[in-house]
A and B are shown apart, each in its own frame.
Chain A
Amino acid sequence: MSDQPAGQPSGAPQMSGVQAETGDTTSSGELVPAGRRPSTPRPYGGYFDHVADALARAYPELSAAVERTVVDRGELTLHVRREQLRDVAQQLRDDAELRFELLSSVSGVHYPMDTDAQLHVVYELTSMTHNRRVRLEVSAPDADPHMPSVVSVWPTADFQEREIWDLFGVVFDGHPALTRIMMPDDWPGHPQRKDYPLGGIPVEYKGASVPPPEERRQYA
């Protein structure tokens, strides 16, 4: 039995996941955590090669600092070791050929299945001079959730690092005042981590009871 609706040509490309590397649409197979993608081989395409070359010239120890370089969906991600993050960040901001002067966004992601690298912090950089974007991704294990702060490079990271400390428990060393920003000061735990429950109570409606979202049937 096909659950394909009538009228859909049978040879038409499916867009609901078959284009993924695994070809898996049932999601019953192994899922590739987004944080563990293999390096993309050169050439990266577009301005990405130029950025990688310029960064390598500006920062000779780059090959030791970058774990993987991933190009996916037209976006370049440099997976940087946390020890070298601040040096790489400084070069990305200051080098004339790079000039990523604006740190657009800092976001945390918790991957409990990523052994020894459960906590990821994602930096979206924008170069207004050259009109380019690059993403830095840095990871730290749950057991040692420390990461260097980039507030000294981009002051705009201040609130965003506080948010990630608050919601994920990442400690940004060198941050001028790392305190909670979203939750109350005495809040226990870090709510956006995957091991932190969403909470909620069952809701009754016309005699039936709808469980909280966490306890509903899971599909993926």
Chain B
Amino acid sequence: MPDTTTTADPYAGTASAADDRIYTVSGGDWDDVISDVHEHNAERVVVNMGPQHPSTHGVLRLVLELEGETVTQARVVVGYLHTGIEKNCEYRSFTQAVTFLTRADYLSPFFTETAYAMAVEKLLGITEQVPVRAQVIRVMMMELNRISSHLVWLATGGMEVGALSAMLYGFRERETILDIFEMITGLRMNHAYVRPGGVIQDLPPGAVEKIREFLAIMPKKVDEYHNLLTGQPIWLKRLQGVGYLDLTGAVALGASGPIMRAAGYPWDIRKTQPYLGYETYDFDVPTQPDGDCFARYLVRLDEMRESLKIIEQCLDRLRPGPVMVEDKKIAWPAQLALGGDGMGNSLDHIRHIMATSMEALIHHFKLVTEGFHVPPGQVYVPVESPRGELGAHVVSDGGTKPYRVHLREPSFVNLQAVAAVCEGGLIADVIAAVASLDPVMGGCDR
């Protein structure tokens, strides 16, 4: 049997009893493994799945205890993508920290940026002074991001249960959103676009038209997903009645967002504790009563439609105006402009500080190197991210760097539900159940 070896495994530890056998499976025929397992009368098999596995959304590791094909215990091991983002923020100015935080949940960076920026604004006491245009742009970017995040979920989740067309469709539409992001922020990912005080630059010419084009095509695409998947027998068989989590379980495990709404409870922070003027937008909170993977799928598709409604209202509300607070002690001094070699400080601004105003140069230098002081205190600001409640707990000691930044990451908290949605089911359903939780390991491990 070339593919199953029973040699010593350096990672297996020393605790295993003499008759425990370790199978290192890398390709080959599953029947060979099974027959070997049966030969040794092993009723209980512990399978290690991940951290490098195509259907674990990055580097999630699952340890599954099986009896036959039934999962009796599921344990989730995280931390493989821990990059110390929170620790690094303590060594950077309040503005620089955005550059780190945007890399946490790489599929929905605008939500992390906005939660953090709103927390810093609350500490500074300038929440009311953030210009309306900046707030509208933030809402618009977040809702575009919600759609792109759900599309990645549809694409990867669909692929994992064998619906390859969903993968192609999902990534195709996401690309159009990433093009919009690239046009507005300069980057497809890791934007660092939302800063304390507003957003770093205004929408470029043509952005509104590009978003309107997207709004024109996207509703038809959502219909396409419904036509492709919603009534499809294999899709239904893989998702219906799988990965069940009721409302009690969701609240106890802290699983918010689409998971809770798919269990029938319309809890959405945009509605219940509105921020950035969400109370003035007209949109619904979709729910489903069933609490299974299929309900989560329907909730996410419906949320895309609601996000489209919000984006349309944002475009109608955009009025010319500043996108950063007036206070020059907080607003980033540089005026970005597009030059021959890409985005950078505008030459007018450089001419102003280098040639005409010593005070402006000192001000620019101090604000960029030292940053602004934030009065001591702590705040917690939650926003409704595509995965649930994303909160920023920011502590300031009065200095120019955050004393502590903590992200309440929905991916991290929701993964605690893995045992609840997997145990008692079949091993094949583990894939669908974990995918329906939509974990993003960059956010989970931070």
Contact = CB atoms under 8 A, between A and B. Distances in A.
Interface of A: 1-8, 14-17, 19-22, 24-25, 27, 31-34, 37, 72-75, 77, 101-105, 107-110, 122, 124, 126, 128, 131, 133, 135, 154-156, 158-160, 163, 180-184, 191-192, 198, 213-214, 217, 219-220
Contact of B363 (A3, A154, A198): A3
Contacts of B179: none
Nearest to B417: A156
Given A75-B380, A104-B254, A181 B78 contact: yes
Given A3-B366, A24-B398, A131-B273, 5 more contacts: A3-B363, A34-B395, A109-B378, A213-B88, A219-B399
A71 B418 CA distance: 37
Nearest to B197: A15
B357 A17 contact: no
Given A33-B397, A34-B378, A198-B88, A102 B359 contact: no
A191 B87 contact: yes
Contacts of A24: 398
26 contacts: A3-B366, A4-B328, A16-B124, A16-B327, A16-B329, A17-B375, A17-B398, A21-B375, A31-B376, A37-B377, A73-B123, A104-B382, A105-B391, A107-B393, A107-B406, A109-B403, A110-B404, A124-B408, A155-B252, A159-B412, A183-B79, A192-B86, A198-B88, A198-B90, A219-B400, A220-B398
A27 B399 contact: yes
Contacts of B399: 27, 31, 219-220
Interface of B: 78-79, 82, 84, 86-88, 90-92, 122-126, 129, 251-256, 265, 267, 272-273, 325, 327-330, 357, 359-360, 362-363, 366, 369-380, 382, 389, 391, 393, 395-401, 403-404, 406, 408, 412-413, 415-416, 445-446
A12 to B, nearest CB: 8
The 4 closest A-B pairs by CB, nearest first: A220-B399, A156-B254, A20-B375, A105-B408
Contacts of A22: 398
Nearest to A25: B373
Contact of A31 (B84, B398, B446): B398
A36 to B, nearest CB: 10
Contact of A159 (B87, B372, B413): B413
A25 B396 CA distance: 14
B170 to A, nearest CB: 29
A5 B373 contact: no
B119 to A, nearest CB: 10
A17 B397 contact: no
A135 to B, nearest CB: 7
Contacts of A104: 254, 380, 382, 389, 391, 408
B120 to A, nearest CB: 12
A109 to B, nearest CB: 5
B359 A5 contact: yes
A2 B357 CA distance: 12
Contacts of A128: 251, 265, 267, 272
Nearest to A16: B329
Task: Give the one of A6, A107, A108, A160 with max B CB within 10 A.
Answer: A107
A3 B362 contact: yes
B406 A75 contact: no
A186 to B, nearest CB: 12
Nearest to A184: B79
Contacts of B377: 34, 37, 72-73
A15 B374 contact: no
Given A31-B397, A34-B377, A156-B252, A198 B91 contact: yes
A178 to B, nearest CB: 15
Given A5-B360, A15-B126, A158 B416 contact: yes
Contact of B87 (A180, A192, A220): A192
Contact of A16 (B86, B373, B382, B406): B373
Contacts of A184: 79
Nearest to B396: A34
Contacts of B87: 191-192, 198
A100 to B, nearest CB: 11
Contacts of B391: 104-105, 124
A91 B379 CA distance: 24
A154 B357 contact: no
Contacts of A110: 404
Given A1-B359, A15-B325, A156-B413, A122 B371 contact: no
Contact of A34 (B251, B366, B403): B403
B249 to A, nearest CB: 9
Contacts of B122: 73-74
Name the residue among B362, B378, B395 with the largest chain A CB count within 10 angstroms: B378
Contacts of A108: 406
A137 to B, nearest CB: 9
Contacts of B330: 15-16
A36 B128 CA distance: 27
Contacts of A3: 359, 362-363, 366
Given A102-B251, A131-B273, A156-B416, A182 B91 contact: no
Contacts of A220: 373, 397-401
Contacts of B400: 27, 219-220
User: Which of B84, B272, B375 has the most chain A CB atoms inside 10 A of its CB?
Assistant: B375
Contacts of A198: 84, 87-88, 90-91
B125 A15 contact: yes
Contacts of B403: 34, 109
Contacts of B92: 213
Nearest to A15: B327
Contact of B357 (A6, A27, A33, A192): A6
Contact of B406 (A17, A105, A155, A159): A105
A73 B379 contact: yes
Given A33-B376, A34-B376, A135-B380, A219 B325 contact: no
